[in-house]
Every structure is written in C-alpha cells, then in structure tokens.
Amino acid sequence: MKKRVGLTLVLLLAFALSTNPALAGGTVNYTANVQKVVLDNGLTLLLKENPAFDIIALALLSEVGTIYDPQGFEGLTYLTQRNLVSGTENRQALELITELESLGVTLNTLATNDISAVVLQALPDSFAASFEIVLDIIENSVFPEEEFARERDLSLTELMSLTDDPVNALVLAYQEVFYGDHPYRYTAYGSYEGLLAVQREHLKEWKDYIYEPEHVTVAVVGNFDTAELLPILEEGFGSWQGGYSGSLPPNKAGLFSYPSEDRELVINLPTEAAFLMIGYPAPDTFDEDSAAMSVINIVLGGGGVGGRLFMEIRQKLGLAYTAFSAYDERLGPSNLLTFVATHPDNVEQVREKVLSEVQRFATEGLTEEEIAGVATQLRGQYLLNNETNMAQAVMLAQAELMGRGYQWVDEYMTFFDNVTPEDIKEAASKYFQHYTSVLVTP
C-alpha cells in the first residue's frame, strides 16, 4: 500500500489504550491535578495521576523538529529518531525489542516538522524498567553502522516512492511552491540529497542537540503516586547536560513571508483524473486567529461530506469525485488548503468554484448559529481525541513546550466561545488574499 503524505499537523499522535476524560460537574478539567517541576538543568516535568486506569503514559517531547535540520542535511532528525532503538552501549537492537516485548511495553520514537518525541506506555509494575530503557536509548545509543545504513536506505526508498502516487506528488509539489526556501517545504523525511549526506557519526552529536534538557518537556499521565515517581524522574533526567558543541549548526529558519501574489503550477502525469490543490496562508496553531480559521475550515470542507466544497461541487454540480479542505495547522507558518479530484475537462469550472467558496467567508462571514454549531462539533472532537492517557500526556507536553503553558489544554474548551461573525470576515480578508494552486493532470 502506498504511503500518503499527512496534510495536517495534529497534536502529534493518538495511541489507543482508552481512558475517560476528566470531567468535573460536566466541565472538562484535564489539568487540575497536574504537578509541574522544572529541574535545575531546564528540563520540565508534568505529572498527572489517574489511578482509575492502570496504564502509565510518558511523552518526552523535544522542540527540535525536522525544520532544525542543518542545511544540506535535511533528514538528520528523522534518521536520528528512527535509529534510536537500533542499539545502545548496553543492549543490541534485538535485545531492546525482546526486553520491551517481555515487559508488555509500547515504545515509539518519531519526528515531525516541529517536534521530536519518545513515547512510552507501560503498566505500573513495568514502568520503572521501561523508563530505564528510555534513558538508555537517549543517553547511550551507538547507532550501529549496519543498522544506520539499512534505515537510511529504507528512508530513501520511502521518500522516493511517495511521488509514485499522484496525490502525494501533488502535496509535495504544493509544499515546495507554498513554502519556497522555508524548511516546511520538506516532509519529515527531509530531502533525497540530505539523507544521502547524513552519516552515522552525525547522529550521535545531533541526538545530543535534540535532547538538550532545555529543549525537553516530559509529561506522565496514569496510575502512579507522584511522591514515588517524581524522585525516579528527577534522578533519571537530572544528570542531563546542555551546551551543544557539535559540528552541525542547527538551521535557524528566518522569517517567512507569505506569497504576495497568486501562484500556479501544472504537473502532467499519466492519470485518468485531475487533482487540484488550492491553498492560502493561515494562522499558526497558537495564533489568536486560529479559532476563526478552524471554524472556517469545518464549514468549507474539513468536517466531511457536509462541507460546502463537497455539497456545492460534487452534490449540486456533479463536477468532482471528492472535495474537501484541511487546516494544515503548524507551530509556524500554516495554510488552509482545498483538494478536489475531478475530470480533466472540469478543472477550470472547479477552480472558479473553489475560489468563490473561499471568498464567501470574507464577504458573507457566518451566522452566530453556524459558528455555535461548529464550536460544539470541535469541542466534541477535542474530547474524543484526548480520551487516552497518551493523548493527554502529549497534549500537556506540547502546550507547555510551545509556551502556552499546560493549562491551555483546558482553555481550549472555551477557545471558540468568543468567535464572532465579524471575526470570520476579518480572518478571511486577512489570509485569503493570494492563493497557491497546484494541478496534477494528464
């Protein structure tokens, strides 16, 4: 099965061991019993007891995502994360896998454009042993040459195979045109040239940069006693030291300027259908305008088959096989994009219809009733998406890591309460001035 490039940055991931959200009198309160501790080295700990369920979830997040890859080494963060479990000074790769399986532990490493993470799920009686493994892979990974070469070859193959699918080719081309020289132009894989340039010795020093303590927030949610667990975490993380002195300088992306004119790209591929993506600038995930943009996206087509794009272009006019929108919400410059699969003969009609539907928000806005309905839907999705201990751990860690503070996860429930019809018009007028269009067609 071909891999599809993800279009939207959510809060990293959702793992599937279910618990119930914390409710108090019908009001969500995820953070009432969260304890925050900042270690002397700058690493932040967030602990939330949930004794009703046995699972303990640990989310260790670093603010060093793939956009910090040194220029010419795009893919370094991805390869570093992918190779963390390839062997340590104390355990070979097979020993790591065997030990984790014997403990009944789920451990994953991942890298996105904005964040690197190690996430762990364990039962209380196996948490201490599994936490020791987490420390081992971060502190003592040796990145064996044979494993590194294999993982890099796999990454190169996966990156190249993305373009075999016309939809993936469309997304990759759109990101390049929209973001230009900004590192958001790359997927988490990086670039083909960057992956080839990365060598095994680079991973060790870059791992030290990713996990400098001031870059890291750790959230633990589950069945534990804080008085017992906190000393274990303090001892484990307290010895970490900062002061990166590696030879590869992190890419400090400069200010990004959104396109100041409409841009269009046509790609000819041997397909029967035509695939059209039109995108606009949008506020980042923590921007004050993001609430209004989230509402716009749901109405436009981010909420499924009831969205305007689907109803107007497919249902009423019969011009598309599918049509939807997505708020590609990132921690940096973001975008709202639309996607339509249609017959090549219908492309121009579809393009005009998409453009007119987007501009309706600037001229007509939305009614208070429409906004309230979407707000209810978004709050419901938020509750469902954060039922698990792991989802809550990731959510708490990310909000804290990105400067909002972990309390923001409760504030989100009122995030849409103050969105007005005028806010919709203002956000649409501000961001929907110039579009980027990419068409894949025969």
User: Does 23-238 match 263-441 in CATH topology?
Assistant: yes
Name which residue leads in pLDDT, 164 or 200.
200
Evaluate if residue 417 carries a pLDDT over 90.
no
Q: Write the single-letter amino acid at 371.
A: I
- Give the C-alpha separation, 231 to 2, whole Å: 45
Q: For residue range 261-302, what is the model confidence (pLDDT) as tens digits?
A: 999 999 999 999 999 999 999 999 888 899 999 999 999 999
Neighbours of 75 (CB within 10 A): 28
pTM, two decimals, is 0.88
Please, how many CA atoms are within 13 Å of residue 416, restricted to the half-sphere of its CB? 23
Q: Across residues 319-323, what is the average pLDDT?
A: 95
| Cβ atoms 138, 117 nearer than 8 A | no
- Give the C-alpha separation, 10 to 172, whole Å: 19
pLDDT band at 27 (very low <50, low <70, confident <90, very high): low
CATH architecture label of 23-238:
2-Layer Sandwich (3.30)
Determine what percent of the chain is predicted with pLDDT higher than 90.
Answer: 78
User: Domain spans of the chain?
Assistant: 23-238, 263-441
Counting Cβ atoms within 10 Å, is residue 103 exposed (0-12), middle (13-18) or buried (19+)?
middle
- Give the C-alpha separation, 144 to 288, whole Å: 46
Q: Of 1-5, 167-171, 199-203, which range is least confident? A: 1-5
Q: For residue range 361-382, what is the model confidence (pLDDT) as tens digits?
A: 999 999 999 999 998 888 888 8
What is the CATH topology of the domain spanning 263-441? Cytochrome Bc1 Complex; Chain A, domain 1 (3.30.830)
